[in-house]
């Protein structure tokens, strides 16, 4: 692997729930922020992964491994996961930087989508090639 894309996030007070730790709903927001930054590093976006296509999320999985607290600094490592037909996965591993503890991991199932036709499409090979060229993943 050449490099792993890394995204740093500082936990805000708005991420904290009544239990005093990061709310479970905020994990998907964290994944979304990291995915946006990952695509930006590729000079792409969720509305443009190449050939006029954007993306939509089909499913998501989150494994909660440890509590996350206000002002924790988190490092999110983002990588391309399994590709199955039209579906591909983006993987996330989240570590608290202060103690190197893995606090979350998960994945989102992504589909390419042609917003002009409102139809699913096959993700362009150029998208996967760009990830391989830059990150080797």
What is the tally of structural domains in the chain? 1
The answer to whether residue 136 sits within a structural domain is no
pLDDT of residue 137: 67
Confidence grade of residue 2 (pLDDT, cut at 50, 70, 90): low
Res 1 pLDDT > 90:
no
The answer to whether residue 72 sits within a structural domain is yes
The answer to whether residue 54 sits within a structural domain is yes
The answer to whether residue 103 sits within a structural domain is yes
The answer to whether residue 48 sits within a structural domain is yes
Parent domain of 63: 5-130
pLDDT of residue 4: 86
Residue-wise pLDDT tens digits, 15-24 = 999 999 999 9
The answer to whether residue 137 sits within a structural domain is no
The whole model's pTM is what?
Answer: 0.95
The answer to whether residue 107 sits within a structural domain is yes
One-letter-per-residue 3-state SS of the chain: CCCCEEEEEECCHHHECCCCCECHHHHHHHHHHHHHHHHHHCCCECCECECCEEEEEEEEEEEECCCCCCCCEEEEEEEEEEEECCEEEEEEEEEECCCCEEEEEEEEEEEEEECCCCEEECCCHHHHHHHHHHHCC
Residue-wise pLDDT tens digits, 4-40 = 899 999 999 999 999 999 999 999 999 999 999 999 9
Domain CATH number, residue 20? 3.10.129.10
């Amino acid at each position: 692997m050449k490099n792993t894309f890394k995204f740093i996030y500082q936990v805000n007070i708005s991420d904290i729930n009544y239990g005093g730790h990061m709310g479970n709903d905020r994990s998907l927001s964290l994944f979304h922020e990291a995915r946006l930054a990952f695509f930006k590093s590729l000079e792409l976006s969720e509305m443009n992964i190449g050939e006029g296509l954007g993306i939509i999320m089909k499913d998501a999985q989150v494994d909660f491994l440890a509590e996350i607290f206000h002002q924790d600094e988190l490092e999110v490592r983002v990588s391309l996961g399994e590709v199955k037909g039209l579906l591909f996965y983006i993987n996330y591993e989240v570590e608290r930087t202060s103690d190197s503890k893995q606090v979350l991991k998960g994945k989102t199932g992504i589909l390419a989508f042609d917003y002009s036709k409102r139809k699913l499409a096959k993700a362009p090979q150029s998208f996967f090639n760009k990830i391989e060229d830059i990150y080797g993943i």
